[in-house]
Each structure stands twice: as structure tokens, then as C-alpha cells.
Structure 1
């Protein structure tokens, strides 16, 4: 065994004894290491600043190594190894939390619940009730001529419309596209003279969904996650 390894082992023993409450002078006497050396280790490695979780983790690690290195283990040894392993996992979660983590780092059940919720809702999630409200709001807001456009959609792939200006065509087709995407999961593409004009459709969709459901759709392009009614 090299001198460096021996020095490291002694230093680890000294640190553990210090965390157990031994004074530097007593550690120096027991390990036969100069007082100044132990005191230097303490200051350089900041033993006093170590969090409680790290101190406990170190003690568990030492005890685990002792048990694992036993040639013949009893049932009691195996039970203690299992208990210490669980404790080691717990202290690791505490350290992640202390390093700026969240409550989910402390409690795996919270993390699992949050992950399940995220998987269920996803981005831009529209629950079934919201879809029903959107469908009702869409149909109840149409003028008679817009209802004709809607009815023509079912029997015509292409609709050629001769219309006057400013009668709500962009407003209508934005809502129709939103409902088509929700009902059928189809992509909606808007072509216009410029990107800014095409984004008018997008803005109408955002406002429509927010006014009816309170959901603020995000992203460009918008990707929906919804439950079909």
C-alpha cells in the first residue's frame, strides 16, 4: 500500500472522528498524527462546513464497507446492509435538495406523481370539457353565411368563396382550423401574402382558446395535446 493511500485512509478516519465529536487533540493522539496536520486537514477540507447529510452519508459508507468486506455474513448483516443502502439513497436525495433541488428530490412519490401528471397533460393540453366548450362557442358564434361555409366543408375539398372585404373570413377560418385540429388531429397550414398576415390566423386561434377555456397556447408552431370529445 502506498504512502499516499495510507495518508488518505488516516485522513478519512480523522474526519470521521471529528464529525463524531472528537477534538483535534484527541484525534491526533489516537491516530498518532501531529496536531498541526489534523488541524490543517480540518481547515483545508472545511470539516465544520460539511452538511449533516454528508456526515451521515460518510458514516453509512464506512459501515457498509465493513459489512460488505466480511467473508461470512449473517442474516442480521444482510438486513443491516439493506437498511444502510436505503439510508444512503435517502441522504443522496437530501444532498440534491440542499444543492438547489425541489421537494421531488426528497420524496420519489412526488416526482412520480408529477411525471404522471406531465405525461397526462403534456404541452398545450385541452381536457375533454374544454373541447366541448370550444365546439359550442365556435358554432354559436357563426353568422348564417359562415354556417354555409362550415356546411360546405363536409362535401367539398376546395371551397372557392367570392366575398366582400372585412366580413370575418380570417376570423372564421382560424376557428374552423382550430376545431379541425382538435377533432381530427390534422395539421393546419396558413398561406398568406406575408408571414405577419399568416400569423393573424394564429393570433385568432390563441385568443379564441384563451377566451373560452383560459388556456394559453404556446409555441410556434403550436402543438396541441387534447382529449377528443
Structure 2
């Protein structure tokens, strides 16, 4: 999918979030106190997601980095290895968060005449555009982490190999120690939202960090079976 088409799809997806939120609130306003209570659904979904996060991670992080000839990255298209955003993980998060927002909007609309409903409505009005923006970015930029000959791309920025001093992994993802000024900093990539496990992602990044002469292969062609990256 081209970048232009992906932007259009992302815009429609974020707009759908706003329209759905407004529709749920209006339904609650018209139904009044007879509106069903959806807060339990959101609570159950959230608890199930958080309680089973380790199981979810094992189920969704089974992919491997894949080489692409032209990745849509900041600064232009470049070849490299791609670690995509996990579609299952994103879907589970949307269900959990969407359940909470839907319950809040429905409750606020049903009690729009009282202060409690107005406060809840105001909170949802503030946070709903943030949720739409998150959906927009997730759809428009499905690339979570990219490994190129120039460095590691994550979060809209390129971390050059010369600035990456060390690689380690923890429960939050892969930690890259970056020194691009007088003071070093840690940058987290991967994590639960990545379709590639933290162990595999850290291994590949460390492999190319420690072997500069092999990075050119990322520009010329697929660097052989990734299983050979040992």
C-alpha cells in the first residue's frame, strides 16, 4: 500500500473513531436512563488484556524481521528489515480501550442533564481526539521498527549506528543506549506492540551494530535467511 493511500485510510479510520464516539453519546442521550451499561464490558476486556499480557505476548510475537526494498521512512524510502506493529495486539488494545470509552460516552450521554454526565462527557470529548490520533498514527505508520544500513528507525526518528552504544532488553522492550550529545539516553523500541519478540529484535540490532561491514547488505539485497544472523 502506497504512503498516500495509507494516509487516506488512516484519516478515514480516525474519523470513524470520532463518528462512532459521537453516535454512542447521542444514543445514550436519546435513551436516557434506559441506555445499557457498557462499563462492565470495558472493565472485563481491560482486566482480561492486562491479566493475560504474558500469554498475549507469546501468541502475537511470532513474526520475524523481513527485508523490504522500499520502506516508507522519515527522509524517504529506503531498503531494510521491517518489524511490523502487531495487528492482534493493536486489535486487543482497541477493544479494551474502546470498551471503556464507549461505556463512558454512553453513561455521559444518558446523564447529560446532570453534572456527572456533563463532566464525563467533557472528559470523553478531550480524550476521544487523542484516541483518534493514536489510531491515525498506527494505521499510517505500520512500521514499528526498521533496521537499515544507516541505523535503527523507530518513533519517527533514525538512530544512527554510530550513536548506538549498547543494546539490552527488558520487559518493556529493547533498550538502546544512544549518545548523540554530551549526555547519553535510553530509547525503547519494540515492546508488546511489536510482532517480533524483544529477544529477536535485540539480537538482530546488536548483530548489525557489532558488524559494520555487514550493514551494506541491507541496501543491496535481502541479507540471506535471517536465521543465519547468529
Task: Give me the TM-score of the superposition, normalised by structure 2.
Answer: 0.24
| Bigger RCO (CA 8 Å, 6+ sep) | 2
Task: Give me the TM-score of the superposition, normalised by structure 1.
Answer: 0.24
User: Which one has the largest radius of gyration?
Assistant: 1
